Structure 1
Amino acid sequence: MKRFNTTGVCVPKKHYMVNTENKLKQIMKLIENGEYFTINKPRQFGKTTTMFLLEKKLENKYTVISISFEGIGSIIMEDEKEFVQSFLEDITDSLNIKIDKKIIKTMKELSKIITKIAKASEKKIVLMIDEVDKSSNNQLFLNFLGMLRTKYLEANKGKDYTFYSIILAGVHDVKSLKTHIRPNEEIKYNSPWNIAVDFDIDLSFNSDEISTMIVDYYNDRGYELNNVKYISEKLYYYTSGYPFLVSKLCQIIDEEMMVEKEWTDEVLQDAVKIILKKQNTNFESLIKNLENNEDIYNLVYKIIIDGKEVKYNMYNPIINLCLMYGILKNENGTLKVQNKIYEQLIYDYMASKIETSQNVDTERYNFRDNFIIGDKLNMELVLKKFQLFMKEQYSEKDMNFVERNGTLIFLAFIKPIINGKGFDFKEVQVSEEKRLDVVITYGKYKYIIEMKKWYGEEYHKRGIKQLEHYLEINNQNKGYLVIFDTRKKSNKKQDNIKIKNKEIFVVWV
């Protein structure tokens, strides 16, 4: 029986897979036109599987050389002779031909061998190199690309023979490699790979594509197909179609939760809780990129904690890094966190950093059992205790710190209360108050909490109306408002506000 796969290449006979035929057709057009291009996408975004499926489609019409730089030794990338002979061995093995590689020692000699191979081949040759990142921080690799570029230009003039199409796959855009290698030098845009066309094909899965995998799985298990569209849309809602996350959630439901019925949103929510509790290389890479680059951290913080709208700009190197690593995405010209699972992970991580960096006592304020009534949360009591906690633990602390990190302090406070049964998603509402709505689910219940700073009575009244509208959209009768008010003479009070048929509980902290 097939299974869901989240490691290595996906094989149609062994694994449940999304039907990506439309994407493959678009890539095939580039190859048929003899284009050179780079598939640069984040980690675990389906690059290797895409290359594998492409190879299968190409092998009847083209001669395909498919190699990977995965695991290539550092010695090979530091010595021209070693590199040339290693590459030559890879392509001769793929073509099943014999060439005495020992006599080939330079890039120029390798170029001549490529000419002979391409000229003698009955079919056009397509070269595919996966995991180019493994060698992309090396000048020798740039020299290699430069040689391929020269041959491409000469072949177009009818003066040489070379590979008909070349596909490189990796995280980094090869056009930025000179910056990557020599960060202290002036940026040079005359890349040895400037012959490559832009790769604008989206490898993320849309809900219709996800449904093809769910149908395959349901048919195998004998389930009805009544809710396939709904489940596919929900999978997209949590993952934004990030291939690893889509497959991982499905794998968790099938292999860990062992659900033997049609999936529901509650099932998916439980799978989200499970994935967020587990370590995996995808999450580790995300957090590492935040930890290792202060500019990336601050940009992400500005977007998801401060609730600020940041416009996409293609020339901003930090923005491009965030998109390259898959942390952010460009959504209609505005930067957003790539998906809701990443958003939750980043919130938990940032809240944990606040929790461990502050010498405060939370245990006597947020003991879980005090806030549970049956299967519901007593959210009013949670907020009252949070108000008391802030008054007693933070009243003497730096108010700038509290104002900047108030939302994270709240998330750290509530985490032990909802842990295991609930989780919280954040939805930024762009307004003059730059407010943040924390949407907490606990069991089958939803609690909408607006977090905002105090900007005066007029803004406060406007914010109440906006929250009432948001409650209406979400079909909720009650909402909660937490106001971070750093005025020294402010009266930290509580209030119940009735507006139309909605009730809003307000606390000032």
Structure 2
Amino acid sequence: MAKRFNTTGVCIPKKHYMVDISRKIDEIEKLVDEEFYFVINRPRQFGKTTTLNELYKRLNSKYSVIRMDFELMGEDFSSEERFCRTFINSISRFINKDIKKADTLTELSYIIMNLTKDNEVVLLIDEVDRNSNNRLFLSFLGMLRSLYLSREQELATTFKSVILAGVYDIKNLKLKVRDDSDTRYNSPWNIAVNFNVDMSFSKVDISTMLNQYANENNLSLDIDVLSKEIYKFTSGYPFLVSRICQIVDEDLLSEDKREWTVLDIQKAVKLLLDDKNTLFDDLIKNLENSSELYECLYNILVNGLPITYNINNPIVDLGHMFGYLVKNKNNNIVVSNQILKEVIYSYMISKTDTMTMAKYNFKDNFIKEDNTLNMKKVLLRFQQFMKENYSSKDIEFLERQGVLLFLSFIKPIINGVGFDYKEVQISEERRMDIVIQYNKCKYVIETKIWHGEKAHRNGLNQLKSYLDIEGLDKGYLLIFNFNENKQYVYNEYCVVDKNIFEVVV
């Protein structure tokens, strides 16, 4: 059976092209060897189950390993007796030994002590947060915690290591404990050490999977260039890395197994952004359910506001836990990768009024005979749209919605052929660089708010520098001027060797 790229469920080395995660498994194995309890809490589709599967195979050669999936045990949390019996059945299956029944967590704890008296046993539990709001689950964690503390005091034996995997950080759960004098809250899992293994894929990691693919298909790929391009869009998010490769192999090149190009990766990214998958569905659902998270992302992506990374901020913590937010070198929060950023932009654009725009942004009006974009015409048409429809809007609305209106305006023009990606520059001028790829041509548009002539000159020089990076000799500047006496004008500048066309709205 030929291997393929996998984006659903666990990855199996003999069936799927896989990143070499052996070094990550080495790091986790050290934590187990040192008898630590820990939680692998990472976002959805971040390779947790695949990592647990490879870890299980590694540990099983030297320890007795019990592996469970709490997603399969939803009904078993309905009663303590049922949970304990199911847990005992799982133990029996993995150690191939009959064990007497337990009806309570206390009885279960005695069985665990007997089981681990002369054996080193490791417990792995996947999807552990599926029942995290269940009191029985919290009591179960409390039982494991008590056994761990007794072991450290040499009063009992218990599992050598316990590894819990899920999206949420189980360490933050609280267990309500009553006694005769008061009611207090204790964390049932404060015994866990921090899990700092980087489970994202580096450019080198990605290259190991591409090497596998190239060798098995007798292809000569420019592994380094392709790995960098995939990483540029994904920042190593495991699902996104595999999905891009899967689209190239199974959709773009299914009939012609030739060498991959950077353009193939870019086409795959465009198809991925139109994909219907659980990662994007969860992202939209979470934005719908949390207005505070939406507002946080809006301020970062549209308003260009700097927000300090503080994990004690519940919204920052939530965005980080879901895999949407990370810390940059300036200690500000940013969206974790370019693809999620584009999905969020598309969702925000969908909330703007596109009906009025339809009279202004008909695609055929902006395509030249050589199938390239007439970007000057696009910007001038947007200027007309803003003048005729938004000149009377209040400044606060325009400051908030202006850039999003332009992104919404340009989307149907490039749809089907091109794609764009954005880079927000956190600064006083609140700049955004928009790079549009259309039929092998690249266009760079910088949007910014008017802050006077000095800032304007700086903006021209900044755009010139960005054009140098992109290897282009022509760029575009879209300025939002909120002064009452502004003029809807356009200008052309020559900055050293760069031509810049500017539109003011």
Instruction: Give the TM-score taking structure 2 as reference length.
Output: 0.95
Query: In the alignment, is the contact (CA less than 8 A) between 2:361 and 2:413 conserved in 1?
Result: yes
Q: Which amino acid aligns with 1:90?
A: S
Deviation at 1:200, TM superposition (A): 0.5
Q: Which residue of the other structure, out of 434, 440, 444, is the alignment partner of 2:436?
A: 440
Question: 1:184 is matched with which residue?
Answer: none
Q: Which amino acid aligns with 2:93?
A: D
Question: 1:197 is matched with which residue?
Answer: 193
Question: 1:228 is matched with which residue?
Answer: 223
Change (3 A) 1:189 1:347: farther
Q: Is it true that 1:243 corresponds to 2:238 in the alignment?
A: yes
Identity %: 50
Matches of 1:432 and 1:303, distance apart in 2: 13
- What secondary structure sits across from 1:66 in the alignment? strand
Matches of 1:312 and 1:7, distance apart in 2: 32
Q: Which amino acid aligns with 2:472?
A: Q
Give the 5 Å matches for 1:383-422. Answer: 383-422=379-418
Question: 2:328 is matched with which residue?
Answer: 331
Question: 1:16 is matched with which residue?
Answer: 17
Matches of 1:38 and 1:229, distance apart in 2: 33
Question: 1:66 is matched with which residue?
Answer: 67
Q: Which amino acid aligns with 1:86?
A: T
Matches of 2:172 and 2:488, distance apart in 1: 52
Residue by residue, what CA displacement relative to the aligned partner does 1:343-379 show, whole Å, maximum 9, x if unpaired?
11111110111136xxx51222111111111131100
Q: Is it true that 1:142 corresponds to 2:143 in the alignment?
A: no
Deviating more after overlay: 42-51 vs 249-258:
249-258
Deviation at 1:491, TM superposition (A): 0.9
Matches of 1:176 and 1:196, distance apart in 2: 11
Q: Which residue of the other structure, out of 296, 304, 308, is the alignment partner of 1:307?
A: 304
Give the 5 Å matches for 1:199-348. Answer: 199-225=195-221, 227-257=222-252, 258=254, 259-332=256-329, 333-348=331-346
Matches of 1:241 and 1:289, distance apart in 2: 22
Question: 1:76 is matched with which residue?
Answer: 76
Q: Which amino acid aligns with 1:273?
A: K
Matches of 1:106 and 1:171, distance apart in 2: 28
5+ long unaligned stretches in structure 1: 181-187
Matches of 1:284 and 1:292, distance apart in 2: 12
Q: Which amino acid aligns with 1:347?
A: Y
- What secondary structure sits across from 1:447 in the alignment? strand
Change (3 A) 1:192 1:215: same
Question: 2:420 is matched with which residue?
Answer: 424
Matches of 2:273 and 2:414, distance apart in 1: 14
Matches of 2:375 and 2:185, distance apart in 1: 55
Matches of 1:348 and 1:499, distance apart in 2: 33
Matches of 2:12 and 2:125, distance apart in 1: 19
Question: 1:183 is matched with which residue?
Answer: none
Query: In the alignment, is the contact (CA less than 8 A) between 1:468 and 1:502 conserved in 2?
Result: yes
Query: In the alignment, is the contact (CA less than 8 A) between 2:174 and 2:186 conserved in 1?
Result: no
Question: 1:372 is matched with which residue?
Answer: 367
Deviation at 1:78, TM superposition (A): 3.5
Residue by residue, what CA displacement relative to the aligned partner does 1:405-439 show, whole Å, maximum 9, x if unpaired?
11111111111110011111111223321211111
Query: In the alignment, is the contact (CA less than 8 A) between 2:129 and 2:167 conserved in 1?
Result: yes
Deviation at 1:179, TM superposition (A): 9.7
Matches of 1:189 and 1:27, distance apart in 2: 30
Number of residues paired by the alignment? 493
- What secondary structure sits across from 1:119 in the alignment? coil
Q: Is it true that 1:133 corresponds to 2:129 in the alignment?
A: yes
Matches of 2:346 and 2:439, distance apart in 1: 19
Give the 5 Å matches for 1:437-476. Answer: 437-476=433-472
Residue by residue, what CA displacement relative to the aligned partner does 1:419-474 show, whole Å, maximum 9, x if unpaired?
01111111122332121111111121111111111222222222122212222222
Query: In the alignment, is the contact (CA less than 8 A) between 1:454 and 1:484 conserved in 2?
Result: yes
Q: Which amino acid aligns with 2:128?
A: V
Matches of 2:139 and 2:287, distance apart in 1: 32
Instruction: Give the TM-score taking structure 1 as reference length.
Output: 0.94
Q: Is it true that 1:25 corresponds to 2:22 in the alignment?
A: no
Question: 1:185 is matched with which residue?
Answer: none
Query: In the alignment, is the contact (CA less than 8 A) between 1:493 and 1:507 conserved in 2?
Result: yes
Q: Is it true that 1:38 corresponds to 2:39 in the alignment?
A: yes
- What secondary structure sits across from 1:353 in the alignment? coil
Question: 1:90 is matched with which residue?
Answer: 90
Query: In the alignment, is the contact (CA less than 8 A) between 1:72 and 1:134 conserved in 2?
Result: no
Matches of 2:431 and 2:351, distance apart in 1: 22
Deviation at 1:294, TM superposition (A): 1.2
Deviating more after overlay: 160-169 vs 257-266:
257-266
Deviating more after overlay: 405-414 vs 307-316:
307-316
Matches of 2:215 and 2:11, distance apart in 1: 19
Matches of 1:179 and 1:482, distance apart in 2: 55
Deviation at 1:190, TM superposition (A): 4.1
Question: 2:110 is matched with which residue?
Answer: 112
Q: Which amino acid aligns with 1:112?
A: Y
Q: Which amino acid aligns with 2:55?
A: L
Matches of 2:189 and 2:85, distance apart in 1: 22
Matches of 1:322 and 1:260, distance apart in 2: 39
Deviation at 1:134, TM superposition (A): 0.8
Query: In the alignment, is the contact (CA less than 8 A) between 1:71 and 1:134 conserved in 2?
Result: no
- What secondary structure sits across from 2:109 in the alignment? helix
- What secondary structure sits across from 1:8 in the alignment? coil
Matches of 1:478 and 1:157, distance apart in 2: 71
Q: Is it true that 1:99 corresponds to 2:115 in the alignment?
A: no
Question: 2:57 is matched with which residue?
Answer: 56
Residue by residue, what CA displacement relative to the aligned partner does 1:216-251 show, whole Å, maximum 9, x if unpaired?
1011111114x1111011111111110000111111
- What secondary structure sits across from 1:363 in the alignment? helix
Q: Which amino acid aligns with 1:37?
A: F
Deviating more after overlay: 454-463 vs 230-239:
454-463
Residue by residue, what CA displacement relative to the aligned partner does 1:117-173 show, whole Å, maximum 9, x if unpaired?
11143xx10000000011111121111111101101111111111100010000000
Question: 2:356 is matched with which residue?
Answer: 361
Matches of 2:239 and 2:464, distance apart in 1: 37
Question: 2:181 is matched with which residue?
Answer: none
Matches of 1:277 and 1:217, distance apart in 2: 25
- What secondary structure sits across from 1:440 in the alignment? strand
Matches of 2:226 and 2:465, distance apart in 1: 27
- What secondary structure sits across from 2:72 in the alignment? coil
Matches of 1:95 and 1:179, distance apart in 2: 31
- What secondary structure sits across from 2:381 in the alignment? helix
Query: In the alignment, is the contact (CA less than 8 A) between 2:450 and 2:479 conserved in 1?
Result: yes
- What secondary structure sits across from 1:199 in the alignment? coil
Query: In the alignment, is the contact (CA less than 8 A) between 2:474 and 2:498 conserved in 1?
Result: yes
- What secondary structure sits across from 1:355 in the alignment? coil
- What secondary structure sits across from 2:35 in the alignment? coil
